[in-house]
Amino acid sequence: MANSCRKLIFNIYVVFYCSAVIMPQICICSQFTSSPIDQFNKDPKAFPVATNGEIFPWHELRLPTVVIPLHYDLLIHPNLTSLDFVASEKIEVLVRDATQFIILHSKDLEILNASLQSEEDVRYKKPGENLTVLSYPAHQQIALLVPEKLRAHLRYSVAIDFQAKLADGFEGFYKSTYRTLGGETRTIAVTDFEPTEARMAFPCFDEPLFKANFSIKIRRESRHIALSNMPKVKTIELEGGLLEDHFETTVRMSTYLVAYIVCDFTSVSGTASSGVKVSIYASPDKWSQTHYALEASVKLLDFYENYFDIHYPLPKLDLVAIPDFASGAMENWGLITYRETSLLFDPKTSSTSDKLWVTKVIAHELAHQWFGNLVTMEWWNDIWLNEGFARYMELISLNITYPELQFDDSFSNTCFEVIKRDSLNSSHPISNEAKTATQIKEMFDAVSYNKGACILNMLKDFLSEETFRKGIIHYLKKFTYRNAKNDDLWHSLSNNCLEGDSTSGGFCYSDSRKTSNTLAFLRENVELKEMMATWTLQKGIPLVVVKREGRSLRLQQERFLSGVFKEDPEWGTLQERWYLWHIPVTYSTSSSQAIHRHILKLKTDTVDLSEKTDWVKFNVDSSGYYIVHYEGQGWDELITLLNQNHTLLRPKDRLGLIHDAFQLVSAGRLTLDKALDLTRYLQHETSIPALLKGLEYLELFYRMVERRNISDVTENLKHYLLQYFKPVIDTQSWLDEGSVWDRMLRSTVLKLACYLNHAPCIQKATELFSQWMESSGKLNIPADVLTIVYSVGAQTTAGWNYLLEQYELSLSGAEKNKILYALSTSKHQEKLMKLIELGMEGKVIKTQDLATLLFTTARNPKGQQLAWNFVKENWTHLLKKFELGSFPIRMIISGTTSHFSSKDELQEVKLFFESLKAQGSHLDIFQIILETISKNIKWLEKNLPTLRKWLLTSI
């Protein structure tokens, strides 16, 4: 041991080196100031011990940058009967600095042997020099020790043979199964790597910065097909009848985007305008549900190629519906994988919101082919450059390709969703440090996705769509096949001049665009990088407080905190001085339709109005990421305006006012009765998104008091809702007709009416359910009311049992989701328990659907305690099914706790989280949940008496 240590000290050698010469973009400078040898002498324990007891020569989670991969040759042979795979790889690497070891990622792989060869280094010319392999599982790394130091600037080829079981969960190279119509269970093998699971399938440099080309070969039986990122070039028949598919070499890309599948799926294909072949794959019995996805993906691919002015660089694009999938979809280059419900559309059972979802997910993953695949963030701290952009592009692409889906009107909800989170102290900046695999997984959250998209949308509004588009095209072209960071984006957006543009203040203006003088003036005086740093490097959302004094508007910004009141002792500390944003505010007034603009950079500022005005409304179209509070008469003026003629404000402004008012209630800045008074105009509201927003808050309060058994308020609120929204409820047909929003309104309103036991609703749903049962499930019920009909049907034992039978038989994921939701609304706890057990067993109810099941069960007042107890008692089992930090685990934990609103519940959750921490599982979401529960408690304490009183005067 002592000897091997000493040997190692001399071998560890200037590995922390940063050369800007060979590949400047692959430059990860070390934070070490002293040499590794000094480090080792000072603290030998700092170096980890490999599984064989020897010292492992690397102690960082991030890989060294002395050896970089250029090309991978992969040969994979999965066996779908024995459920394992054998494989071999050759990685061509460039040594940038002399070294005696190569560090790679590898997780749960059995390395059979490793060898080294080089055409450029005479000492390694003859093939097959065997290497010592050390393994350090805590960092998921292996070290290949070479007998003689590799030389700088030479290329070497590392060959590794390895094998493993096909993984049990949803990550790495895993197995997935489905049942055929004939009742046979079939297995497929599929990969899912993002963020850090390529290392479960092959030893590799598994960090986004290490881009390389991949040549993949897959062995399979003739009953299967193999798919990978690139098209197949040829198939070779091997002895014993096995086939070996060879795929074209990929473009330069990160490891997390590599993908392959061995399955027996069938497909439909089409061709995009550019000639790219697009195919949708699904298990054979689901072929008929693939057509909508084909139409949408061809249309969206055409859109993106045109919008970005950059060709999709591969010859083909496959979209595959995978029967077992942990998240919604994954953007593997050329081989996008989807949960079945995110890709398949069944005209009979898919609702209008299902269609919107499928279209959005396709748009999202296609956007990643540029944002993410072509240009990748340098490190996971900036995952928003992938996910925020993909979410933003959902909006841009759907507006153009599917205007009839009216997605533009629901984008504000994308922002409202994340504001809930971002207004808690436990939020985090968009760009956030992430080191461990769990921390990296946690970065895939609403802040990266939604806040990322919302600040991009705000910036687009500020710069104009055309300037913004030019900027992002510039960014994509400049960083093609490379990696980028925040500043690269801001730089591209400020220096995006194309030929023919005139420049001013670092911005480009094309002649075609006439910008208002104020806007041009503002842009010229804004340092983009500085402005955007305030949105990406600090957490939270600003509150703009407006006070009108005659013709003068006094603006003040502060950090918006929900659940913390100004009179609370912690308020001051939470409003630290650095919470300042550069806010591009917009406003309109009663005296002009124009959009006025101003940049609020300081804590306080004043704006002078040119004319006298009756009211002023900030954040036009809700496109800015800030909340507005009106001091003095501001809110009263707006409430009066809404009541007198709400159409004087734009629909998205009405929507924003409802949102902001209720947020301000949570922050103790506006009284609940004032916010409720604001919703009174909704009787006349013609814009459905605004109407639904008001209804959403009222339903939220209803569910809160119902769960807490506050029966007088529950009854009165039910009465109020049914009375107040009677005209809307009673005019609904039970048909799939009207615009997307008409149909969304129908689903929401009828679902609420039936939930509140509204007799005509229950009667109609019962009638349809009986007819459906009598027809043995053959009757076509309109898809938008299907969930409602099933949920009412699930309230009898016969209905519930019948639904469970149909669940097993149904081939439509969309229908299965609706049935499962309905089953989870039962009032019988033994039925709810049975469902959870089926979910844990993973046969009738797939493990992939367990998280949603626990979430919906916990929403049911009769199931909330049951679901929560279940999670507490089965935590270790759950962690065997899903990785800590993964989306399902976060959904399970927050879905079963964040609706709590009592001190006892808070204490219980706290204790549970402490016990988890003691066992070594910590998640950032724990703090978010605790803050959310505290916020709920506070809300009830402060607002319950007001709600009670307001209802008494309103019904």
Q: List the x/- string, 873-912, binding to ligand BES by CB under 6 A.
A: --------------x-------------------------
Q: Does 166 sit near Zn ion (CB under 5 A)? A: no
Q: Does 413 bind ligand BES (CB under 6 A)?
A: no
330 binds ligand BES (CB under 6 A): yes
186 forms beta bridges with 178
| Residue 61 neighbours by CB under 8 Å, 6+ apart | 139, 435, 436
Q: Minimal distance in Å, beta carbon 528 to ligand BES?
A: 26
For residue 316, the partner it binds in ligand BES, Zn ion, none, with Cβ less than 5 to 8 A by kind, is: none
Smallest CA-to-CA distance from 664 within 568, 540, 565 is with: 565
Q: Does 194 bind ligand BES (CB under 6 A)?
A: yes
Residues 6+ apart with CB under 8 A from 548: 554, 616, 630, 632, 633, 634
Q: How many residues bind ligand BES (CB under 6 A)?
A: 15
Gap between the Cα atoms of 723 and 15, Å rounded: 73
Closest CB 312 distance from Zn ion, rounded Å: 17
- Span of 68-76, 160-168, 360-368, 893-901 interacting with ligand BES by CB under 6 A: 360-368
The secondary element (H helix, E strand) that includes residue 808 is helix 797-809
Write down the least CB distance from residue 337 to Zn ion, Å.
12
b/e map of 185-207 (b: 16 or more CB within 10 Å)?
Answer: ebbbbbbbbbbbbbbbbbbbbbb
Q: How far is CA 606 from CA 424, 597, 598, 805, 845, in A?
A: 28, 13, 10, 66, 59
Q: Which long-range contacts (CB under 8 A, 24 or more apart) does 699-705 make?
A: 699/752, 701/947, 702/756, 703/859, 703/861, 703/899, 704/899, 704/901, 704/936, 704/939, 704/940, 705/944, 705/947
As measured in angstroms, the least distance from the Cβ of 893 to ligand BES is 16
Q: Which of 444, 507, 579, 618 touches ligand BES (CB under 6 A)? A: 444
Q: What is the distance between the alpha carbons of residues 392 and 797, in angstroms, rounded to a whole number? A: 45
Q: Is 328 in the site for ligand BES (CB under 6 A)?
A: yes
CB of 391 to ligand BES, least distance (A): 7
Q: How far apart are CA 264 and CA 225, in angstroms?
A: 6
Q: Show the CA angle centred on residue 653, arms to residues 649 and 656, nearest 5°.
A: 150
Enzyme catalytic residues? 365
Q: Which of 327, 480, 495, 590 binds ligand BES (CB under 6 A)?
A: 327
CB nearer ligand BES, residue 133 or residue 367: 367
CB of 319 to ligand BES, least distance (A): 13
Residue 365 in the binding site for ligand BES (CB under 6 A): yes
**Chosen from ligand BES, Zn ion, none, partner binding at 815 (C-beta under 5 to 8 Å by type):** none
Output 387 or 849, the one with its CB closest to ligand BES. 387
Binder of residue 325, out of Zn ion, ligand BES, none (CB less than 5 to 8 A by kind): none
Q: Among Zn ion, ligand BES, none, what does residue 444 contact (CB within 5–8 Å per kind)?
A: ligand BES
User: Does residue 387 belong to the site contacting ligand BES (CB under 6 A)?
Assistant: yes
Q: How far is the CB of 532 from Zn ion (least distance, A)?
A: 21
How far, CA to CA in Å, does 495 sit from each of 486, 512, 524? Answer: 15, 18, 12
Binding segment (CB under 6 A) for ligand BES, from list 359-367, 591-599, 734-742, 752-760: 359-367
The closest alpha carbon to 913, from 862, 868, 850, 853, belongs to: 868
**Quick one: 390 or 947, whose CB is closer to Zn ion?**
390
The least CB distance from residue 584 to Zn ion, in Å, is 26
Residue 387 annotated as binding site: yes
Dihedral sign of CA atoms 312, 313, 318, 322 in order: negative
Member of 139, 286, 368, 881 binding ligand BES (CB under 6 A): 368
Partner interacting with residue 861 (select from Zn ion, ligand BES, none; CB below 5-8 Å by kind): none
384 vs 939, which CB is nearer to ligand BES? Answer: 384
Nearer residue to ligand BES within complex by CB, 574 or 891? 891
Between the two ends of the chain, the Cα-to-Cα distance in Å is 82
Looking at residue 371, the DSSP 8-state letter turns out to be: B
DSSP assignment of 195-255 equals: TT-GGGTS-B--STT--BEEEEEEEE-TT-EEEESS-EEEEEEPGGG-EEEEEPPP-SB-G
Q: Please, what is the minimum distance in Å from the beta carbon of residue 295 to ligand BES?
A: 18
Nearer to Zn ion, 374 or 390 (CB): 390
Helix and strand element counts for the chain (H, E):
33, 31
Binding-site string for ligand BES from residue 112 to residue 131, where x marks contact by CB under 6 A and - marks none: --------------------
Nearer to Zn ion, 194 or 905 (CB): 194
Give dist(CA 266, CA 282) in Å, integer.
Answer: 6
| Whole-number Cα distances in Å, 598 to 179, 261, 525, 615, 704 | 60, 53, 11, 18, 39
Whole-angstrom distance, CA of residue 592 vs CA of residue 397 = 31
Which of residues 327 and 829 has its CB atom nearest to ligand BES in the complex?
327
CA 449, 450, 452, 453 dihedral sign is positive
Binding ligand BES by CB under 6 A: which of 109, 361, 489, 786?
Answer: 361
Nearest distance in Å: CB 325, ligand BES: 8
Which of 89, 206, 207, 331 forms a contact with ligand BES (CB under 6 A)?
331
Select from 74, 144, 322, 329 the one that contacts ligand BES (CB under 6 A).
Answer: 329
49-68 mask for ligand BES (x: CB under 6 A)? --------------------
195 counts as binding ligand BES under rule CB under 6 A: yes
**How many CA within 13 A on the CB side of residue 428?**
21
CA pair distance 316, 481, nearest whole angstrom: 18
Candidate ranges 325-333, 570-578, 683-691, 825-833; the one touching ligand BES (CB under 6 A)? 325-333
Question: Binding to Zn ion (CB under 5 A): which residues in 365-394?
Answer: 387, 390
DSSP per-residue codes, 481-519? TEEE-HHHHHHHHHS---TT-EEETTEEE-TT----HHH
Given the rule CB under 5 A, which residues bind Zn ion?
A: 387, 390
Given the rule CB under 6 A, which residues bind ligand BES?
A: 194-195, 327-331, 361, 364-365, 368, 387, 390, 444, 887
Q: Which residues are annotated as a binding site for Zn(2+)?
A: 364, 368, 387
Q: Which residues are annotated as a binding site?
A: 364, 368, 387
